[in-house]
Structure 1
Amino acid sequence: MNKLTYGLFASALALSIDVTHAASVAEVFNGEMLGTNQRYFESVAGIPRESFGDEHKFKVQGCDITATVEGGTVSKLRMELTPKCQADLTQFVGTFAPAPGKPLTVGAFNASSGGGLSYSASCLSMCGNAADPSVYAHWEGPRAIGFREVLLEVVLASDPALDAANQWEAQMRKAEGEDYVMETRFNCDRKYDAAAQKAFEKVQVSAVTIGTELKASGC
């Protein structure tokens, strides 16, 4: 076998192995992967496409999944949701999550989890054009599931998301004034979580992160 033939054979074999062992979203984005070491995670998910500090980005079945690795172990998993990329949160928090198979909405998660979501936003007023701001709904599970946390993210880009943000913002501005909204003081006092819940009830989630010590937008 000459070098060219051997090279083609080796490439074809590597491609065959790669395809045979291609991971599924269900294998990568599930609760059993939290707490695993980075080497094991990558043996299933593959080599990350990008890495920024502790965050490692993977493409699995066309879906964008980010693993946060701290101290050598996976502490958080994030998945961007699309019509073709839907997360099965029951694999992380059991019956506290809505049944899989439908687009995830803020209201569906709130209903299944029993409520208790806290809301924050990167920006609601005078945000500029650098990037679309996001609203976050954070939930901390009970002891029964190890206090595992869920962070729902809604990017303010679609009409339903923008309408919901405008409703939330208008209520806060009316009660507290312009500075309260512009300085994102609502991220500190939780006074308007119920208003946010009502406004975002039917809005689809853009991304979801599962893990511990999850941080959204601060004060």
Structure 2
Amino acid sequence: MNKLTYGLFASALALSIDVTHAASVAEVFNGEMLGTNQRYFESVAGIPRESFGDEHKFKVQGCDITATVEGGTVSKLRMELTPKCQADLTQFVGTFAPAPGKPLTVGAFSASSGGGLSYSASCLSMCGNAADPSFYAHWEGPRAIGFREVLLEVVLASDPALDAANQWEAQMRKAEGEDYVMETRFNCDRKYDAAAQKAFEKVQVSAVTIGTELKASGC
């Protein structure tokens, strides 16, 4: 076997092995992966494409998944949602999650989980052009599922998301004034969570994070 033939054979074999062992989203983005060590996680998910501190970014079946590794173990998993990348949250929180197979909305998760979500946003007014702000819905699960938390993120870029944000902002601005909104005081007092729930009920989620000690936008 000459060098060219051998090289082509080796490349084909490597590609075959890689394809054969390519992980699925279901294998990587599930509750059993939380708490595993980094070496095991990467044996399933593959080598991360990027790493920033504790956060390691993977591409699985075309979907962007981020694993947060703290103290050597996976503490959080985040997945960006698209029409082709949908998360099955029942694999993390069981019947507290909406049935898989449909786009995830804030209202669907609120209904399946029994409510009790807290809402926040990185910015609603005078946000500048650095990056699109986000709206967050945070849920803390009961003891039955190990107090596991879910953080839904809606990037305020699509028309439905912007309409919902404007509706929420207008209600707060009318009642509390401009400074209340600009200083994001709504993230502190939770007075307008019900209004946020109503405004964002049908808005599709852009990304979801599951784990412990999840943090959204603060005061």
Q: Please, what TM-score do these two structures have when normalized by structure 2? A: 0.98
SS at match of 1:40: helix
Deviations 1:99-121 (A, max 9, x none): 00000000000000000000010
The 2-side partners of 1:218 and 1:15 are apart by 46
Q: Offset at 1:85? A: 0.5
Q: Offset at 1:153? A: 0.2
The 2-side partners of 1:15 and 1:32 are apart by 28
The 2-side partners of 1:98 and 1:72 are apart by 31
Deviations 1:128-179 (A, max 9, x none): 1111100000000000000000000000011110000001101111111100
Q: Which runs of 5 or more residues in structure 1 are unaligned?
A: none
SS at match of 2:43: helix
Deviations 1:35-62 (A, max 9, x none): 0001100111111111111101111111
Identity of aligned residues (%): 99
Give the structure 2 partner of residue 164 of structure 1.
164
Give the structure 1 partner of residue 55 of structure 2.
55
Give the structure 1 partner of residue 110 of structure 2.
110
Q: Offset at 1:189? A: 0.9
The 2-side partners of 1:72 and 1:3 are apart by 42
Counting matched residue pairs gives 219
Q: Offset at 1:8? A: 2.2
- Stretch of structure 1 that moved more, 10-19 or 141-150: 10-19
Q: Offset at 1:13? A: 1.0
SS at match of 1:36: coil
The 2-side partners of 1:4 and 1:67 are apart by 40
The 2-side partners of 1:11 and 1:187 are apart by 54
The 2-side partners of 1:169 and 1:42 are apart by 42
The 2-side partners of 1:5 and 1:39 are apart by 35
Q: Please, what TM-score do these two structures have when normalized by structure 1? A: 0.98
Q: Which runs of 5 or more residues in structure 2 are unaligned?
A: none
The 1-side partners of 2:9 and 2:71 are apart by 39
- Stretch of structure 1 that moved more, 1-10 or 161-170: 1-10
Query: Which residues in structure 2 correspond to 1:7-26 (within 5 Å)?
Result: 7-26=7-26
The 2-side partners of 1:200 and 1:133 are apart by 15
Q: Offset at 1:11? A: 1.5
The CA RMSD measured in Å over matched residues stands at: 0.7
The 2-side partners of 1:13 and 1:19 are apart by 10
SS at match of 2:188: helix
Give the structure 2 partner of residue 3 of structure 1.
3
Q: Offset at 1:191? A: 0.7
Q: Offset at 1:12? A: 1.3
SS at match of 2:174: helix
Q: Offset at 1:202? A: 0.4
Q: Offset at 1:2? A: 3.3
The 2-side partners of 1:102 and 1:111 are apart by 14
Q: Offset at 1:10? A: 1.7
Deviations 1:3-49 (A, max 9, x none): 33322222211111000001000000000000000110011111111
Give the structure 2 partner of residue 83 of structure 1.
83
Give the structure 2 partner of residue 128 of structure 1.
128
